[in-house]
Amino acid sequence: MEHDIRISRGKVIGLGRVKIPRTETFNHEIQLLSFLDIQESVASFIATCIHLRIDGYGKTAEEAEEDMVENVYYFLSKNFSELSINDAWDNLRDLFKSDEWSNELWDAYHEVQIQLSMQGIPTDNTAEVLERLKQISIRVKEWEMRVKNMELEKTRIELTAEIRKLAKDLIVESTRLDKAA
């Protein structure tokens, strides 16, 4: 039996995974990060990266996802540029650990998976994800070629500003409960 999935911040309406790619200015392998789409009110949405506890906000779930991707990229860039490499990885390790809030998010994530499974909708489309990751790599290389001749700091600023334009490509999976019916 399906039911609304509610957490302290609102109604969970979907889930997804995002891939932050390696680039010339961000040369770190970050695994796929899981997120939830949450509806706070009629025109207020949150996309929450469960691993990093980073939010994005918007008037639609898609806007919230784009904002979240931008915020995740900004955080990771700062994390690895301002901390030593060991401290940066330790910081991620700490963020990935469970606590009361992340447990609530993971429980909701798993409930969405169950409800989608009950509807016969897969969320583990490995072949599709691999193709999306390949496309991300191609897009990043094309993107970096455009800015190759710029000085490094100017490139970093442009990459950070442009990440939102790539957000839809970086979200390798996004499934909404209302679209699954």
pLDDT tens per residue across span 153-181: 566 666 666 776 777 777 777 878 875 44
Tens of pLDDT, residue by residue over 76-131, are 999 999 999 999 999 999 999 999 999 999 999 999 999 988 888 887 776 777 77
Tell me the torsion sign for CA atoms 166, 167, 172, 174: negative
Percent share of the chain, pLDDT over 70: 85
- Kindly tell me if the per-residue pLDDT of 150 is higher than 80: no
Q: What is the dihedral of CA 56, 59, 61, 64, to 10 degrees?
A: -20
Task: Give 40 or 23, the one with higher predicted confidence.
Answer: 40
- pLDDT for the residue numbered 139: 78
- pLDDT for the residue numbered 181: 41
pTM exceeds 0.85: no
Ranges of each domain in the chain: 5-180
Count other Cβ atoms within 10 Å, centred on residue 151. 9
Phi then psi dihedrals of residue 180, to 5 deg? -80, -20
User: Nearest-CA neighbor of 36 among 56, 14, 11, 54?
Assistant: 14
Query: 59-70 burial, b for 16+ CB within 10 Å, e for fewer?
Result: eebbebbbbbbb
Percent share of the chain, pLDDT over 90: 57
